[in-house]
């Protein structure tokens, strides 16, 4: 009997489906990052809070369509006022992370933005140490040294370094880590746990409510200015719609890749995604890079990989 049957059609189609999911996740992640950079820096649309609010509005609408109509996942309900307050707290931190990240893209090249963003494990370990009784093995903390060292090296070698942009980027990275730790603390009981799709369904509308007054106060007449810009160049509307839709697909594909592979696979793919985003952004935006800057980023990525391995072995 032939052994060629090992490559059965269902197995091949399963691999193709997984490959398609990963490709979609990469495309949406890198696409929204590059389009954010283009709009906020190159195109001259200087309204990061409004842009984030557009993202959250799209996530609210498309999350409802995906869960209530398409039934991508079963809908989970919020069971108490306390659970709602916990979700609102996460939404506030989430807003801070996304807005800070978008603000940083006004001032920093994507390559340096990704180098700083790669330090998320460092902030996650710090917040977990401060806010929970959870302690990692000493070797895990040792692996965080190259994570931070790499960013220090990259900062010194970054020709487009901007202090305010750097502070915003560090703030975004810290807020992203804080949300991850807070989520583990606040929604830890079985009755309150929500999958990432349902959590987004509830967080996104709260984020819109939080961001609306912020954009009206801090980005005065942003709607009128956007409409005036759109009258001059209607492509802006398409950019905003496409960008906001991509922001939702980042979350959807993130969920689906985790579901069909594993959290560890997602982590490995995430490390590689940062490197791909750096290369693509340099090719598109042609921002100057130095050997020192790339060396720093490489050291950070190596540190993240070592951290992932140390965490895996300590379990």
Q: Cβ contacts of residue 137 below 8 Å, gap of 6+?
A: 310, 314
What does the alpha-carbon distance between residue 101 and residue 179 come to, in Å, rounded to a whole number?
A: 14
Q: Are 66 and 258 in contact (CB under 8 A)?
A: no
Supply the pLDDT for residue 5.
42
Q: Are 86 and 194 in contact (CB under 8 A)?
A: no
Closest CA to 98 of 45, 26, 48, 43: 48
Q: Which residue has the tokens 């079963």?
A: 74
Burial of 255 (0-12, 13-18, 19+ CB in 10 A): buried
What does the alpha-carbon distance between residue 220 and residue 150 come to, in Å, rounded to a whole number?
A: 39
Mapping DSSP to helix (H, G, I), strand (E, B) and coil, where does residue 245 land? helix
Dihedral sign (CA 100, 106, 108, 109): positive
Mapping DSSP to helix (H, G, I), strand (E, B) and coil, where does residue 154 land? helix
Supply the pLDDT for residue 2.
43
Question: What residue spans define the domains of the chain?
Answer: 31-314
Closest CA to 114 of 289, 247, 313: 289
Q: How confident is the prediction for the chain on average, in pLDDT? A: 90
pLDDT along the chain (315 residues), means of 10: 46 80 93 96 94 97 96 93 95 97 96 93 92 85 94 93 97 95 87 91 97 95 95 96 96 88 73 88 91 93 89 78
What does the alpha-carbon distance between residue 31 and residue 13 come to, in Å, rounded to a whole number?
A: 26
Task: Please write the tens of the pLDDT for every residue from 249-270.
Answer: 999 998 988 888 776 677 778 7
DSSP symbols for 53-79: HHHHHHHHHHHHIIIIIS-SS------
Supply the pLDDT for residue 235.
95
Q: Are 268 and 259 in contact (CB under 8 A)?
A: no
Q: Tell me the whole-structure pTM to 2 decimals.
A: 0.90
């Amino acid at each position: 009997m032939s052994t060629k049957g090992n490559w059965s059609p269902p197995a091949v189609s399963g691999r193709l489906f997984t490959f398609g999911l990963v490709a979609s996740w990469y495309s949406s992640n890198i696409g929204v990052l590059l389009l954010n950079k283009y709009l906020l820096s190159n195109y001259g649309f200087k309204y990061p809070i409004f842009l984030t609010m557009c993202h959250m509005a799209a996530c609210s609408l498309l999350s409802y369509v995906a869960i209530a109509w398409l039934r991508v996942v079963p809908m989970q309900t919020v069971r108490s006022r306390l659970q709602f307050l916990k979700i609102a707290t996460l939404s506030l931190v989430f807003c801070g992370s996304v807005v800070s990240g978008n603000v940083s893209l006004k001032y920093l090249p994507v390559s340096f933005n990704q180098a700083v963003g790669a330090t998320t494990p460092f902030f996650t370990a710090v917040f977990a140490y401060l806010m929970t009784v959870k302690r990692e093995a000493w070797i895990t903390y040792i692996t965080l040294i190259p994570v931070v060292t790499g960013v220090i090296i990259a900062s010194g070698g970054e020709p487009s370094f901007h202090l305010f942009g750097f502070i915003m980027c560090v703030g975004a990275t810290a807020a992203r880590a804080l949300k991850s730790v807070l989520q583990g603390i606040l929604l830890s009981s079985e009755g309150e746990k929500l999958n990432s799709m349902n959590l987004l369904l509830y967080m996104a509308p709260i984020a819109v409510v939080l961001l609306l007054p912020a954009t009206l106060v801090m980005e005065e007449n942003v709607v009128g200015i956007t409409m005036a810009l759109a009258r001059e160049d209607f492509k802006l509307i398409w950019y905003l719609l496409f960008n906001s839709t991509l922001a939702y697909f980042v979350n959807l594909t993130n969920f689906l890749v985790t579901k069909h592979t594993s959290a560890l696979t997602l982590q490995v793919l995430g490390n590689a995604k940062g490197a791909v985003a750096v290369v693509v952004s340099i090719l598109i935006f042609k921002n100057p890079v130095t050997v020192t800057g790339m060396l720093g980023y490489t050291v950070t990525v190596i540190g993240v990989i070592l951290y992932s391995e140390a965490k895996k072995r300590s379990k």
